[in-house]
Amino acid sequence: MTENEVAVVNVGQSDFGELEGQRVTEFGSRAVREALLSSSVEPDDIEEAYIGNVATTAQDQTSVIGQAILREVGVTGIPIIRVENACASSTCAFQEAYKRVQSGESDIVLAMGVEKMTGVPTEVALKDMAGAADAEVEGAMGMTFMGLYGMRANAYMNQFGNVREELADIAVKNHDNGLKNPRAHLQLNVDRDDILESRPISDPIRLLDACPMSDGAAAAVIARTEIAEELVEEPIYVDAAEMLSGNYLEEVEFWREELDERVAQKAYSEAGIGPDDLDVVEVHDAATIGELMHYEGLGLADQGEGASLVRSGDVMLDGRTPVNPSGGLKSRGHPVGATGVAQICELVWQLRGEAGARQVENPSIGLAQNSGGALVGEGGVSTVTILSNR
């Protein structure tokens, strides 16, 4: 069977933050509306829709949420399917949409993600999030996600030495980038000392190492390449879309992003490129140590050498391979079900030269890495999506 090539037609994103007073259907439909209005795609042109959503306790609409949101923009009467895979839910929704177009089942498909997390006490939200770990032992016995990052950071520093200051510099970099992103949640002007002196959350992770819990939505319309080229001047091509889960049956080496390594290898092979070819990268920096370990998992740096990319400035906005120009989860925010497609939005804007003050110089290939959940300390899912403007 011949596989169709697939491209992103257009994208849209709501503001990320504490969207007090807005129902999930409101900011969810704003993201879709933007994606539709900025292309010549009519609501009736959408043949299927996939929606990433984890539904925390803060959300009023928990089921048929895709239908409830898409009704607001007149996208009705078609297959609408919710995808849940913790913090990688909307990348997985995007990849399902991609496969439907790739296989020839549909020509134009919508992928989106949405999440409402604010408005409930922090400990309630944390307990809810603990459901994305093993619920029988870990979740029941107090594990938190920042705790998982704390465990990774301690294992990493025991193996490779102290990178505490470089972790702080990653937070500073992402906040600097986020100040240039009007849709970012945490607009903070911070320096290294602010990070190192912020209150401890889960040692050695401090408050300013961690992403916030946010409300927000993001959407992407994708289509068969030939159709995308008719609909927009600059379609952004999907060169790889891969997702894998953890192995779980063996002991975990907490200092290593083994799951990233496996999924990145598959994606590079599918796209026919390597890490040196990347011009812009978005990674899952739910905590600063996450970003540093993703450098290594994605092959941007050798094992134990991730901090060197921070010291050299390679990952800065004007560096060799800018990472998280959007501000990342750290600054843009982390409405868990929406984060993956928000990364896709950023890559599309960057590859079209539409990223404003945070524009990376002339990029042609971008990569987004998105993680979700964990079992026995190993990632639930890691995804890698590679886009280009050819």
Partner 1 sequence: MRQVHPDYNESSGLVVDGSIRIAADDNPVLIGTECSECEYVVFPSRPFCRNCLSDNVSDVELARTGQLETYTVAHTGQEGIEPPYAFGFVNLENVQIYSRFTEWKERSLEVGDQVELVLEKIKTDTETGEPLFGHMFRPMEEEQ
By C-beta, is 212 or 340 nearer to partner 1? 212
Count CB atoms within 10 A of the CB of residue 317: 20
Would you count residue 120 as binding partner 1 (CB under 8 A)?
A: no
Binders of partner 1 among 200-229, rule CB under 8 A? Answer: 200-203, 205
Quick one: which segment of 13-21, 97-105, 148-156, 332-340 binds partner 1 (CB under 8 A)?
Answer: 148-156
Residues with catalytic annotation?
Answer: 87, 334
By C-beta, is 48 or 134 nearer to partner 1? 134
Residue 79 structure tokens: 């297959």
Would you count residue 122 as binding partner 1 (CB under 8 A)?
A: yes
Would you count residue 161 as binding partner 1 (CB under 8 A)?
A: no
Would you count residue 130 as binding partner 1 (CB under 8 A)?
A: yes
The candidate with the shortest Cα–Cα distance to 375, out of 156, 139, 109, 181, is 139
By C-beta, is 145 or 268 nearer to partner 1? 145
Residue 81 structure tokens: 């399917």
DSSP symbols for 171-213 = HHHHHHHHTT-TT-S------HHHHHHSPEEETTEEGGGBPPB
The candidate with the shortest Cα–Cα distance to 324, out of 280, 292, 290, 293, is 280
The correct pick among 24, 80, 143, 384 for binding partner 1 (CB under 8 A) is: 143
Q: Which residue carries 């004007």 as its tokens?
A: 318
To partner 1, the closest distance from the beta carbon of 144 in angstroms equals: 6
To partner 1, the closest distance from the beta carbon of 115 in angstroms equals: 20
By C-beta, is 131 or 274 nearer to partner 1? 131
Lay out the site mask for partner 1 across 253-282 (x = CB under 8 A, - = otherwise): -x----------------------------
Q: Which residue carries 């899952």 as its tokens?
A: 284
Binding residues for partner 1, rule CB under 8 A, total 37
The candidate with the shortest Cα–Cα distance to 366, out of 338, 335, 345, is 345
To partner 1, the closest distance from the beta carbon of 133 in angstroms equals: 9
By C-beta, is 203 or 302 nearer to partner 1? 203
Residue 293 structure tokens: 């370990």
By C-beta, is 306 or 366 nearer to partner 1? 306
The correct pick among 52, 147, 212, 246 for binding partner 1 (CB under 8 A) is: 147
Q: How far is 112 from 51, CA to CA, in rounded Å?
A: 5
Secondary-structure percent of the chain, ordered helix, strand, coil, rounded to 5: 40, 20, 40
Cα dihedral 214, 35, 69, 56 in deg (nearest 10) = -20
Residue 47 structure tokens: 């043949």
Q: How far is 165 from 294, CA to CA, in rounded Å?
A: 17
Q: What are the beta bridge partners of residue 379?
A: 374
Would you count residue 195 as binding partner 1 (CB under 8 A)?
A: no
Helices (H) and strands (E) in the chain, counts: 13, 11
The correct pick among 1, 21, 233, 251 for binding partner 1 (CB under 8 A) is: 251
**Residues in touch with partner 1 (CB under 8 A):** 121-124, 126-127, 130, 134, 136-138, 140-144, 146-147, 150-155, 158, 199-203, 205, 249, 251-252, 254, 376-377
